[in-house]
Structure formats: C-alpha cells, structure tokens
Amino acid sequence: MSAFDDLLAANRTYAEEFGDGGFDGVAHAGVAIVTCMDSRIEPLGMLGLGLGDAKIFRNPGGRVTPQAMEALVLGVHLLNVKRILVVPHTRCAVASQSEAELRAKLAESAGQDASWLHLHVIEDQVRALGEDVAKVRSHPFIPDDVEVGGFIYDVDTGLLNQKI
Ligand SMILES: [Zn+2]
C-alpha cells in the first residue's frame, strides 16, 4: 500500500488510452506561459491549447525568476516558442498578504520558527508584472520578434486581462 495508489491506478487507466508516445517536445502552438502554482489555473485550457502546444513554467505568484528565465530562453531558441505570456492571477496567496503574515501561518502549521524562511511576496501585482515582462523583453537571449505579454488571470471569471 502506498499513499499514491489511487493516483497510480488512475495513471494505468490513462496509459491504456495514451496515444501520444514518441511525440516531440517542441511547443507546437509556439507558446510559453509563466504562471502561478495555483490549483485554480488550467494554463492550457484557458488558452484553448492542448498537449504539445506550450511550454509551462509555474511557481508561487507566477514570477519571472532566474529559473523561469532559463526556461524561456530554452523555449525560444530550442523549442519553437514565439509568444510568451506572464500570468499572475487574482486572489493569489503570495500577492494578498505580507511576508510576515505568511511566515506566521507557516510557523503555526509547522510548529516551529519560520523567521529564517524567505518568501517572495508581491506587494503590487501589476507593478511586479511590468517588471517581469520588462525582464523578459530586455533579456539578451530573447529576440525582439518574440511577443511578450503580461496578463492577470481572474480565477472567478476565467478571463485573462492583458495589462502590458
Ligand atoms: Zn497564486
């Protein structure tokens, strides 16, 4: 018995119907998405895309971290990415409370001091999005003909609102 039994059973069913073996790993729709880890976001579904269409990088807040930038550079040069969407969202946990508040919750959950944890909270979501989009656009390995947009995804309506 494993804590993963239900998921592995579901996977066997999935594999029985799986018909995409041998598929390549390029982004067929030429899209890369940087978005939050939030479980309310379906990055492919919200854009009308499917398996094989896009490169997706997720982290708390949907920030363009050094690792996200690495993914975008690889995507653009090696994996057919032509358009990049940076997509934070409404009611995001790391954009709606302070680092101190988040630390307090973690300390309570873990029953130990969390003061040493560095949490990347976002004070002004639109400003942070602007900085992230600028970071991508100005990167020397992101050519000018790659389109980069900044959007806020509304988890209550399913709509993307372009900000930049
Ligand atoms: Zn979030």
Average pLDDT of the chain is: 97
Query: What are the structural domains of the chain?
Result: 24-162 (3.40.1050.10)
Q: What is the pLDDT of residues 18-56, one digit of tens each?
A: 999 999 999 999 999 999 999 999 999 999 999 999 999
Cα-to-centroid distance, 87 and ligand 1 (Å): 10
Q: How far is the CA of 153 from the centre of ligand 1 (A)?
A: 10
C-alpha 30 chain-centroid distance: 16
CB-proximal residues (5 Å) to ion ligand 1: 36, 38, 92
Please give the distance, rounded to the nearest whole angstrom, from the Cα atom of residue 68 to the centre of ligand 1. 15
This prediction's pTM? 0.96
User: What is the structure's pLDDT at 76?
Assistant: 98
Is a pLDDT exceeding 90 seen at residue 1?
A: no
Q: How far, in Å, from the CA of 160 to the mean position of ligand 1?
A: 14
Q: CA 101 → CA 93, 115, 124, distances in Å? A: 11, 11, 16
